[in-house]
Structure 1
Amino acid sequence: MLWLIRLGAYMLSGAVIWSFLHDGTGPVAYFPGGRHLVLDPDNGMVFGVCAGLGKYTGFDTTFIRLGWVLACLYRGVGVALYLLAFLLMPL
């Protein structure tokens, strides 16, 4: 199970580095639809991370918020992930 988490972290960091090195046209530009993961402060409660993630994935924002709360209850991982997502996602 730990190798799966590491693999996801390596893939995420590779995508972020790719985005910075190629003038912001990261791997998202190569996927169909051209959707972009951005903050949605108009529909958000705190910073708009969950609303932006819900808009990007098509899931209901309530379920995403519930997932963040459950992640916060597990050793505070959700707080760190929320702040990291806020820092990485553009407006």
Structure 2
Amino acid sequence: MIWLIRAGAYLFSGLTIWQFVQGAGTPDAAGIHRHLALDQSQGMVLGVCAGFSAYTGLDVSLIRLAWALAVLYRGAGLALYILAFLIMPAS
């Protein structure tokens, strides 16, 4: 079961890196700069995943799935989620 979670996490991280290489993580050509901030209006719990989704341009469901997998894998996702909430400014 653990190997399945690890394989999913590796696949998701590879897809995320591929998105950045393809240019989805760069600011728009119109000069609009994105800032990493909490998006509490679109968020389910604290707005961390919605903020990452707005920043990267990835679907919020993929971001939430990555956080859930990180929580299941040694609980690191929960600590990272709380840390991200404390560090990220509100939008």
**TM bucket by the smaller chain?**
0.5 to 0.7
Q: 1:4-83 maps to which residues of 2 (within 5 A)?
A: 33-83=32-82
Segments of structure 2 that go 5 or more residues without pairing to the other structure are 1-30
Report the TM-score, using the length of structure 2 for normalisation.
Answer: 0.63
How far apart are the structure 2 equivalents of 1:47 and 1:64?
Answer: 14
1:75 aligned counterpart, secondary structure: coil
Counterpart amino acid of residue 56 in structure 2? T
Report the TM-score, using the length of structure 1 for normalisation.
Answer: 0.63
Moved over 2 A (4+): none
Higher relative contact order, chain-length normalized (CA < 8 Å, sep 6+)? 2
Identity of aligned residues (%): 62
Counterpart amino acid of residue 63 in structure 1? L
RMSD in angstroms over aligned alpha carbons? 1.0
Q: Post-superposition shift, 1:33?
A: 4.1
